[in-house]
Amino acid sequence: MEIVEHLLDISGIGRNRMQLRWVSSAEGQLFADYITQFSEQTKELGPFDPEQFKLPLTAIEQTLSSPRIRWLIGMTRELTEIENVYHEKLEEKDYKRLLKQATEEEYHKAMIVEVLRKGPHSVHEMAKKIGLPIYTVSLRLNELEKHGQAELTGYDGSTPKFIGLAT
């Protein structure tokens, strides 16, 4: 859930549009109180237009299903509680920092892939469409090229244009 909250924050949607609460069937009043609280919070946030967040929502979905993130989440216990053959394990805070960084990187790559699905783009055009610094787009694009998910397609004058590759 922390990863989903983080993705909602970096996408601009905001973590307050989602909640997870555990309530037993014997706690009807508590459930009703939670629903009332969340309804009031949602009203304060205002209407949500999914069309406005189509690109970020698609990137969030791709990030959560990426092999890298799924592997890291699946290996939480092994990485933080069980020592490896070298008698090493990650501290909880280091693991969370690693997972947060990997999530951001995968989200950025997913945003780039989505933009490239619509046709060739320069790094500057991609950066403008997804709201990331040119340097970050360039780094993530390089990773996508290494993994066969994007490639240079040509030039518009002296400006390189890239396309996404079906994977």
DSSP string, 45-68: H----TTTTHHHHHHHHHHHT-HH
Which amino acid, 118? K
pTM listed for this prediction: 0.89
Which amino acid, 10? I
Going by the DSSP 8-state scheme, the letter that residue 121 receives in this structure is B
Strand-pair partners of 134: none
Compute the distance between CA of residue 13 and CA of residue 144 in angstroms, rounded to an integer: 25
> How is domain 54-164 classified at the CATH fold level?
Arc Repressor Mutant, subunit A (1.10.10)
Compute the distance between CA of residue 50 and CA of residue 117 in angstroms, rounded to an integer: 19
Structure confidence at residue 126 (pLDDT): 97
Structure confidence at residue 85 (pLDDT): 80
What are the boundaries of each domain within the chain? 54-164
Q: What sign for the dihedral angle of Cα 45, 65, 1, 93?
A: negative
Residue 112 structure tokens: 């780039």
Tell me the pLDDT of the chain (167 aa) as tens digits: 999 999 999 999 999 999 888 999 899 999 999 999 999 999 999 999 999 999 999 999 999 999 999 999 999 998 899 887 888 889 999 999 999 999 999 999 999 999 999 999 999 999 999 999 999 999 999 999 999 999 999 999 999 999 999 76
Structure confidence at residue 167 (pLDDT): 63
Which amino acid, 44? E
